[in-house]
Amino acid sequence: MKVTIVGAGNVGATCADVIAFKRIASEIVILDIKEGLAEGKALDISQTATTLGFNTKVLGTTNDYSRTADSDVVVVTSGIPRKPGMTREELIGINAGIVKTVCKNILQHSPNTTIVVVSNPMDTMTYLAHKTLGLPKNKIIGMGGALDSSRFKTYLSIALRKPASDIHGMVIGGHGDSTMIPLIRLATYNGMQVSEFLSKDELKKIASDTMVGGATLTKLLGTSAWYAPGASVGYLVDSILNNQKKIIPCSVLLEGEYGQDDICIGVPTVIGKDGVEDILDIQLNSEEQKLFEKSAQAVRNMNNALDS
Ligand code: NAI
Q: Relative to the CA of 117, which ligand 1 atom is closest? A: 41
Q: How many helices (H) and strands (E) does the chain have?
A: 10, 14
Instruction: List Cβ neighbours of 170 (8 Å cut-off, separation of 6 or more).
Output: 145, 149, 152, 182, 183, 186, 187, 249, 268
Ligand 1 in reach of 83 Cβ (< 6 A): no
Ligand 1 in reach of 122 Cβ (< 6 A): yes
Q: Is 43 in a helix, a strand, or coil?
A: helix
Residue 53, number of CB atoms within 10 A of its CB = 9
Output the CA 120–ligand 1 centroid distance in Å.
8
- Give CA–CA dist 192/201, Å, rounded: 19
Of all protein residues, the one whose alpha carbon is nearest to atom 7 of ligand 1 is 78
Ligand 1 in reach of 229 Cβ (< 6 A): yes
130 is known as an active-site residue: no
Output the CA 285–ligand 1 centroid distance in Å.
36
Look up the ipTM and state it.
0.99
For the whole prediction, is pTM greater than 0.90?
yes
Contact between 296 and 263 under an 8 Å Cβ cutoff? The reply is yes
- Give CA–CA dist 15/234, Å, rounded: 6
Which residues does residue 58 pair with via DSSP β-bridges, in sequence order? 28
Query: Along the 308 residues of the chain, how does pLDDT read in single tens digits?
Result: 999 999 999 999 999 999 999 999 999 999 999 999 999 999 999 999 999 999 999 999 999 999 999 999 999 999 988 888 888 778 888 999 999 999 999 999 999 999 999 999 999 999 999 999 999 999 999 999 999 999 999 999 999 999 999 999 999 999 998 899 999 999 999 999 999 999 999 999 999 999 999 999 999 999 999 999 999 999 999 999 999 999 999 999 999 999 999 999 999 999 999 999 999 999 999 999 999 999 999 999 999 988 66
Of all protein residues, the one whose alpha carbon is nearest to atom 20 of ligand 1 is 32
